[in-house]
C-alpha cells in the first residue's frame, strides 16, 4: 500500500487519469490525498469527482475554487458569477445532466442555469466533506495554499488554508538565504511538520512545470489548470509522475 499526493486538477479528467495510470495507482489498496481545486478550469469537473469517488482511500482537501462551488451548493449563488474558471464547472454539470442547451455564453452565466438540488447527492456530499488540511501518521501536513507558520495549525481562519501563499514564499526566501549561510538555520513552524505538501501557487511562475521544494515544503501545483501538467507524487519516496501538458489534451480552458 502506498500513499500518493496529487496537485490541482481544475476539471482536467483526462490528465488526472493519466497520472493515476502512470503511477500505477491501486484504487482499492493505495491512498490518494488530493490537494484541492478540483473545480473550475476544464469542463470535466463532474468526471473528476466521479473518478475520485471510485477510490476507496481518498482524502480531499478544499481549494479556493472548490470553496466557490461549495458556496453555490449551499446558497444557490456563485460568488464569482461563474468567472475565474467557473464556467468550466457549470458546463461540466450541465452536460452531465443532459442540459447542454442551457449552457449560456461566457459572461452571461446566471446561477439559474443550474440549481444545487440538481447536482448529484454524492457530489454535494463530496464537496461538503473536503478538509481544510490533513495530517497523516508520519506528521506530514497536506493543505491547498498554506498556513500562518507563526500560529498553531488548528486555530487559523479557514480562508488561510485555501488562499494564503505566504508559507510558500517564505520558504523560498528562507531557502535562498540559508543556502548562503555558513551556520544553517531551521525553517520554523509553530506546529512543526516532517513535510508539507501544497498546491495553489503554480510552479509555472518560476518557469517550470515540475514540482518544487523549499525548506520542507513540496509545491506540486504544476499548472494543471492550464499551461502545465497535473502531478502525482509518492509521499514516501518523492517519486512523481505527470500528465501530458494539459494544453495538448484540451482545446479550451475556461479560465
Calpha distance 132→113 (Å, rounded) = 29
Say what the pLDDT of residue 182 is: 67
Question: What residues pair up with 143 in beta bridges, in sequence order?
Answer: 133
Residue 33, C-alpha cell as written in the block: 490525498
Just give the CATH number of 3-244.
3.60.21.10
> pLDDT value at position 112?
59
Please give the angle made by the CA atoms of 188, 222 and 16, to the nearest 5 degrees.
120
Alpha helices in the chain (DSSP H): 13-22, 45-53, 64-75, 86-96, 121-128, 158-163, 166-180, 246-249
pLDDT reported for residue 237: 98
C-alpha cell, 111: 446561477
Using alpha carbons, select from 62, 88, 84, 53 the residue that is nearest to residue 8: 62
CA 201/CA 173 separation, integer angstroms: 15
- pLDDT tops 80 at residue 108: no
Which of the two residues, 107 and 116, has the higher pLDDT score? 116
Percent of the chain clearing pLDDT 90 (strictly above): 84
Domain boundaries, the chain: 3-244
Q: How far apart are CA 98 and CA 142, in angstroms?
A: 36
- Note if the pTM is more than 0.85: yes
Q: Is a pLDDT exceeding 90 seen at residue 99? A: no
The string of pLDDT tens digits covering residues 111-154 is 557 889 999 999 999 999 999 999 999 999 999 999 999 999 99
Question: Cell 474558471, residue?
Answer: 85
The Cβ of residue 155 has, within 10 Å, a number of other Cβ atoms equal to 9
| pLDDT at position 18 over 90 | yes
Rounded distance between C-alpha atoms, residue 137 and residue 120, angstroms: 33
pLDDT score recorded for residue 81: 85
Q: Which residue is associated with the grid cell 525553517?
A: 187
Amino acid at each position: 500500500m502506498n500513499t500518493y499526493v496529487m496537485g490541482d486538477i481544475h476539471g482536467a479528467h483526462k490528465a488526472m487519469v493519466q497520472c493515476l495510470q502512470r503511477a500505477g495507482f491501486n484504487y482499492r489498496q493505495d491512498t490518494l490525498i488530493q490537494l484541492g481545486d478540483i473545480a473550475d478550469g476544464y469542463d470535466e469537473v463532474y468526471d473528476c469527482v466521479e473518478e475520485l469517488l471510485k477510490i476507496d482511500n481518498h482524502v480531499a482537501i478544499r481549494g479556493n475554487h472548490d470553496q466557490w462551488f461549495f458556496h453555490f451548493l449551499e446558497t444557490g449563488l456563485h460568488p464569482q458569477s461563474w468567472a475565474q474558471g467557473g464556467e468550466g464547472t457549470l458546463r461540466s454539470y450541465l452536460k452531465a445532466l443532459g442540459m447542454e442547451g442551457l449552457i449560456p455564453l461566457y459572461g452571461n452565466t446566471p446561477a439559474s442555469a443550474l440549481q444545487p438540488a440538481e447536482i448529484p447527492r454524492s457530489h454535494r456530499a463530496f464537496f461538503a466533506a473536503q478538509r481544510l488540511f490533513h495530517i497523516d501518521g508520519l506528521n506530514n501536513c497536506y493543505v491547498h495554499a498554506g498556513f500562518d507558520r507563526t500560529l498553531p495549525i488548528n486555530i487559523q481562519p479557514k480562508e488561510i488554508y485555501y488562499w494564503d501563499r505566504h508559507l510558500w514564499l517564505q520558504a523560498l526566501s528562507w531557502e535562498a538565504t540559508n543556502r548562503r549561510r555558513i551556520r544553517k538555520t531551521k525553517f520554523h513552524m509553530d506546529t512543526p511538520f516532517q513535510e508539507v505538501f501544497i498546491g495553489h501557487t503554480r510552479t509555472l511562475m518560476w518557469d517550470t512545470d515540475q514540482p518544487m521544494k523549499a525548506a520542507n515544503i513540496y509545491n506540486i501545483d504544476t499548472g494543471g489548470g492550464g499551461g502545465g501538467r497535473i502531478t502525482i507524487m509518492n509521499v514516501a519516496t518523492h517519486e512523481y509522475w505527470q500528465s501530458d501538458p494539459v494544453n495538448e489534451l484540451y482545446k479550451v480552458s475556461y479560465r
